[in-house]
Amino acid sequence: MNEKEQSLQQLRDIKMMMERSSRFISLSGLSGVFAGVFALIGAAVFYMYLNTQMASGYHSIAERLPMDVSIDYLTFGILDAAVILFLSIGFGIFFTTRKAKRDGLNIWDRKVGHLLINLSIPLIAGGLFCLILLSYGLFGLVAPCTLLFYGLALLNASKYTLDEIKWLGISEIGLGLIGCMNLGYGMTIWCIGFGVLHIVYGAFMYFRYEYKQQ
């Protein structure tokens, strides 16, 4: 190895050390893949439930604003979302912890705290906003608004983790805005955002950062 190659290697090592000290780089791509799969399964279950329980399907009811939504449908939707969230967080913790141990990094430190704080503030605000939408019967806006606030949360937290999270957040925001303009297709756009994009970005991150290290 000549002097020029040694200098480049030293620069790469310094860059890696700086990233490890300022960013949470142990986020596993597999957690995104599984979150996307769970989102698609959960959305399919909710969609089939609505279409079997209601005379008209999701596309028809979402376009009628405001509207009265039965407490049974809300309960089922909340339970469905809770199961998706529980499974996604559980598998995310598992894969991320495994990657952190393999890389010799701590799973919990100050930068992880900053990441969670910046992620949670838009998510909590978005959750409360969606409850307000439901209280006014604006059912069709809930799905796209969850995408919108989720994208804002990812964008807000991206400075503490991998760059791909920033672009995922921007993509989610764009889809959320499109969904707000096409209420009858909010659930379809939600599936693209939480399902397909998670799988695509998760797979990309896995093959870029993890696959060759195994």
Cis peptide before 122 (omega within 30 of 0): no
- In total, the chain counts a number of residues equal to 214
pLDDT tens digits, 129-150: 998 988 887 888 888 999 999 9
Quote the tokens at residue 174. Answer: 């764009």
- Give the pLDDT confidence score for residue 67 in this predicted structure: 59
Range of the domain at 177: 28-213
CA distances from 142 to 20, 55, 168 (A): 37, 21, 20
Number of domains in the chain: 1
Cβ contacts of 20 within 8 Å, gap of 6 or more: 105
Quote the tokens at residue 88. Answer: 């996604």
Judged on CB neighbours under 10 Å (0-12, 13-18, 19+), 169 is buried
**pLDDT lower than 70: segments of the chain:** 1-25, 53-72, 105, 109, 212-214
In a domain, 100, yes or no: yes
Q: What are phi and psi of 73, to 5 degrees?
A: -70, -40
In a domain, 4, yes or no: no
Distance CA 55, CA 47 (A): 13
In a domain, 20, yes or no: no
- Give the pLDDT confidence score for residue 17 in this predicted structure: 46
